[in-house]
Amino acid sequence: MRTTTELMLNALRARTVIPGFNIGYVPMMQPVIHALRDMRCFGLVMVARLEWTKFEAKSLRAIRQEYERVKDERYTRLHLDHVPVIDEDNLQVDYQAILGEAVELGYDSIMIDGSRLALAENIAATRGIVEMAHRAGAAVEAELGAVMGHEAGPLPPYEELFASGKGFTDPDEARRFVEQTGVDWLSIAIGSIHGAIVPGKKDQEKIQARLNIDHLKKIHQAVHIPLVLHGGTGIPGSYILQSIREGIAKINIATAIRQPFERLRSQSLVKALDAVYDTTVSLINELDVRRSAAIIDPEEP
Ligand code: 13P
């Protein structure tokens, strides 16, 4: 079986992308996997820490068990998304314990998010996790720069953020970060933001973020590992397709499949799950799905 590391490198080489879908509620996993299978699209099934603390993903173990029940290894692998060192509420997290548990449970890849730390501290924390995970054969994603949106407080106006480039990943820092940590993939800030997760805001329509493609090119020239785009909901398709040509090999999507599930689940679980399936299919269609074949089998013409 090909490792997620190999599959991500295949995606980067083929200039295509691996979509990662966040499972905020355990039952959402099955329709996501069925959509990937039916579309013959390779993707990651993901859970982030905030999805069991703030939504109903339950636990690392519950997600692992559900994955075992419904997985399709031709088209899927299991990824642990955002385990922050300092979380969105500014609390310290026992990130080493959580990431260690995920590796023991057999998650194929994990993400440490030290983006709220200073550069040197982010490097030190990430390097420690890379050493631990690589010993067990798991891949590691880390984040550099500030992909905002999960915090409870008000965001600065989006246009102001985008125009100033505040929080964008610095290409020279990215080079140093990758060299000194040995991380496999890097989540970068180039204009996208996460969908809100706080009550009162989490049900609202997400603003349409944009991407600074010139800035992405500079990062991609500085580092040669697969780059990851977080905050994938609501970015116009033309930006997504350009970003895939310039080094984005994985795109994370949460809000777009969570909101229809939450809207419909009190009415009917079947309708809510159908909505997850349909939304996943249409999101996959917006990516260039035909090229997904080059991820699974790069020898195929
Ligand atoms: P969205 O909620 O904007 O899709 O972002 C998801 C994400 O980046 C999870 O890591």
Domains and CATH numbers, the chain: 4-294 (3.20.20.70)
Burial class (CB in 10 A: 0-12, 13-18, 19+), 3: middle
Any ligand 1 atom below 6 A from CB of 230: yes
DSSP 3-state of 89: coil
d(CA 71, CA 29): 9
Structure tokens at 35: 């959509």
Per-block mean pLDDT, blocks of 10 residues, the chain (301 long): 96 96 98 97 98 98 98 97 96 98 98 98 98 98 94 88 94 98 98 93 94 98 98 96 97 98 98 98 89 83 49
- Does the beta carbon of 82 sit less than 6 angstroms from any atom of ligand 1? yes
| Tens-place pLDDT, residues 271-280 | 999 999 999 9
Quick one: which of 223, 289, 292, 228 has its CA closest to 11? 292
Which pLDDT does position 151 carry in this prediction?
87
Which residue matches tokens 């590992």?
225
Rounded to the nearest angstrom, the distance between the alpha carbon of 111 and the centre of ligand 1 is: 13
* pLDDT the model gives residue 210: 96
Rounding to the nearest 10 degrees, give the CA dihedral for residues 269, 237, 33, 147: -90
Q: Mutate which of 22, 32, 49 to test ligand 1's pocket (most atoms within 8 Å of Cβ)? A: 22
Confirm or reject: Cβ of 22 under 6 Å from ligand 1.
yes
Specify the ligand 1 atom closest to the Cα of 232.
Answer: 4
List Cα–Cα distances, 50 to 54, 57, 69, 80, in angstroms: 5, 9, 23, 11
Cβ of 126 below 6 Å from ligand 1: no
pLDDT, tens digit, 9 for 90 and up, residues 216-271:
999 999 999 999 999 999 999 999 999 999 999 999 999 999 999 999 999 999 99
Q: Pinpoint the alpha helices (H) of 165-268.
A: 171-181, 213-222, 237-245, 255-264
| Ligand 1 atom at shortest distance from the alpha carbon of 82 | 10
pTM for the complete prediction? 0.97
Catalytic machinery residues? 81
Cα(234) to ligand 1 centroid in Å equals 10
Angle, helix 119-135 to helix 95-105, in steps of 10 degrees: 20
Q: Which of 111, 233, 261 to mutate to test the pocket of ligand 1 (most atoms within 8 A of CB)?
A: 233
